[in-house]
Amino acid sequence: MVSIADIGYDEVDDATGEVPCRGLSGESLKKLPCHIILDEVAAAQSICCTICLQDIEGGEIARSLPRCQHTFQLSCVDKWLIRHGSCPVCRQDV
């Protein structure tokens, strides 16, 4: 008898029997736009990274995903996108 704990990530299929998306390649990640949050923007509106739940401060580098425009701290979203090819909020493909 095989338990789910004995199955490696590479062996797990989704409900349709297909292998789930593994995320973006390093080259694809480099092509996504990133920007520095200006102090004025950070002071005027609170932008929260929904991955780590911390406010993005002025001077920090952020990435806004092109399709949905959700914004995250660069280091948080890059870690996510390496594993997943979708937005962590709306799950729209990047």
Tens of pLDDT, residues 22-66: 799 989 999 999 999 999 888 888 889 999 999 999 999 999 999
Residue at 5 is within a domain: no
Long-range contacts of 33-38 (CB under 8 A, 24+ apart): 33/63, 33/64, 33/66, 34/61, 34/62, 34/63, 34/74, 35/61, 35/62, 35/63, 35/64, 36/60, 36/61, 36/62, 37/61, 37/62
| Domain of residue 63, residue span | 22-94
| Tokens 């292998």, located at residue | 19
Residue at 9 is within a domain: no
Residue at 17 is within a domain: no
pTM over 0.75: no
Number of domains composing the chain: 1
Residue at 89 is within a domain: yes
Residue at 4 is within a domain: no
CATH number of the domain at 67, please: 3.30.40.10
